[in-house]
């Protein structure tokens, strides 16, 4: 079995833990939510969680704080469905000028939200099938073994890392994403009963810190009695579990170091 290239769906990148408001909430309530969450807009739902409107910071500028949200919310709604092609949702946002779309089920109940930031994330962070296939082909060519590839769950405690450090700033971002219900699949090589982590070290360490037992992963199962290069590397570096990965606190992730400039 091989991993085939598939189209990304809204469900792959939407945030499932959505902050929403009721039409009876006031402008003052929304102002407090903006301060508390850092978000600038929220879906408006009824008692059955059906989306009936949308409210943004722009809608409440200069409005009496005691005004009910139902009186000032936008009722012209653009929504997405979780099975939509992510590119189609991106086109809707681009053409309408909306930065977020509520995701609803067949009864218009709120089940998530997709943002333009999620679309960007899908392009720069994705552990896509092509990457998995390239690694699989390399293993088969170099070691002369057969492999089987599938998507499944792996126990975080059983992961053997293949890199010795992660960056605290990047780790903080991964913890935030997991708390929002977002987690890209890892890429692991399964050899006997061992799982070698090839891609997703920050995600895996974040899950360990959060006490999450399992993560989704592309699993490349190796069939054959051969010692892989990653086995030798992990043994040489003394890496037996994620607890052996060092968290670098004082040095920013290299990408941050490259792109950040103090303009003061």
User: Which domain CATH number covers 96?
Assistant: 3.10.580.10
In a domain, 170, yes or no: yes
Weakest mean pLDDT among 1-10, 25-34, 86-95, 227-236: 1-10
- 70-99 pLDDT per residue, tens: 999 999 889 999 999 988 998 888 888 888
In a domain, 2, yes or no: no
Q: Which two tokens stand for residue 248?
A: 């670098």
Same domain? For 184 and 167 the reply is: yes
Q: How confident is the model at residue 211 (pLDDT cuts 50, 70, 90)?
A: very high
Report the share of the chain in percent with pLDDT over 90.
55
* CATH number of the domain to which 240 belongs: 3.90.1530.10
Over residues 54-71, mean pLDDT: 96
Question: Which residue pairs, CB below 8 angstroms and at least 24 apart, start in 253-259?
Answer: 253/167, 253/169, 253/170, 256/169
pLDDT at 191: 93
Residue that is last in its domain, among 74, 104, 122: 122
In a domain, 22, yes or no: yes
Residue that is last in its domain, among 61, 92, 122: 122
Whole-number Å distance between alpha carbons of 168 and 31: 31
Same domain? For 69 and 156 the reply is: no
Point out which residues pair with 109 in neighbouring strands: 50
Same domain? For 130 and 255 the reply is: yes
Stronger pLDDT, 143 or 126, i.e. the higher one: 143
CA distance to 15, 78, 160, 162, per residue, from 145 (Å)? 39, 50, 21, 21
Same domain? For 62 and 130 the reply is: no
Same domain? For 244 and 172 the reply is: yes
Length of the chain in residues, anyone? 264
- 237-247 pLDDT per residue, tens: 899 999 999 99
pTM of structure: 0.57
In a domain, 73, yes or no: yes
Does residue 263 register a pLDDT over 90?
Answer: no
Same domain? For 153 and 196 the reply is: yes
Over residues 214-235, mean pLDDT: 89
Stronger pLDDT, 28 or 257, i.e. the higher one: 28
Q: Hey, which of 16-20, 93-97, 181-185 has the most confident mean pLDDT?
A: 16-20
Give the CA diameter of the chain: 73
Domain count, the chain: 2
Residue that is last in its domain, among 122, 152, 171: 122
Q: Is 174 exposed, middle or buried (0-12, 13-18, 19+ CB in 10 A)?
A: buried
Same domain? For 33 and 80 the reply is: yes
Q: How confident is the model at residue 103 (pLDDT cuts 50, 70, 90)?
A: very high
Contact 165, 250 (CB under 8 A): no
Same domain? For 98 and 143 the reply is: no
Domain that holds residue 232: 126-259
Weakest mean pLDDT among 118-127, 131-140, 156-165, 169-178: 118-127
Q: How confident is the model at residue 233 (pLDDT cuts 50, 70, 90)?
A: confident
Same domain? For 132 and 218 the reply is: yes
Task: Provide the 3-class DSSP secondary structure of residue 44.
Answer: strand
Same domain? For 228 and 142 the reply is: yes
Same domain? For 109 and 231 the reply is: no
In a domain, 35, yes or no: yes
């Amino acid at each position: 079995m091989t991993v085939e290239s598939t189209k990304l769906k809204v469900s792959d990148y939407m945030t499932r833990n959505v902050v929403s408001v009721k039409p009876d909430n006031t402008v003052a309530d929304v102002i407090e939510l903006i301060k508390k969450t850092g978000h600038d807009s929220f879906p408006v739902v009824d008692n059955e969680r059906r989306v009936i409107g949308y409210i943004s910071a722009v809608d409440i500028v200069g409005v009496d704080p005691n005004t009910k949200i139902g009186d000032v919310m936008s009722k012209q709604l653009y929504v997405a469905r979780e099975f939509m092609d992510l590119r189609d949702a991106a086109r809707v946002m681009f053409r309408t000028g909306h930065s977020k779309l509520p995701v609803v089920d067949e009864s218009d109940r709120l089940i998530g939200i997709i943002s333009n930031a999620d679309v960007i994330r899908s392009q720069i962070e994705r552990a896509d099938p092509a990457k998995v296939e390239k690694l699989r082909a390399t293993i088969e060519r170099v070691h002369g073994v057969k492999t089987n590839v599938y998507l499944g769950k792996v126990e975080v405690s059983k992961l053997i890392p293949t890199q010795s450090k992660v960056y605290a700033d990047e780790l903080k971002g991964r913890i935030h994403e997991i708390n929002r219900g977002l987690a890209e699949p890892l890429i692991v090589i399964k050899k006997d009963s061992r799982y070698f982590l090839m891609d997703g070290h920050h995600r895996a360490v974040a899950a360990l810190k959060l006490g999450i037992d399992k993560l989704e992963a592309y699993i490349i199962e190796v069939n054959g009695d051969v010692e892989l290069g990653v086995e030798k590397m992990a043994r040489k570096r003394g890496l037996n579990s994620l607890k052996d990965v060092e968290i670098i606190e004082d040095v920013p992730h290299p990408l941050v170091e490259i792109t950040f400039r103090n303009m003061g």
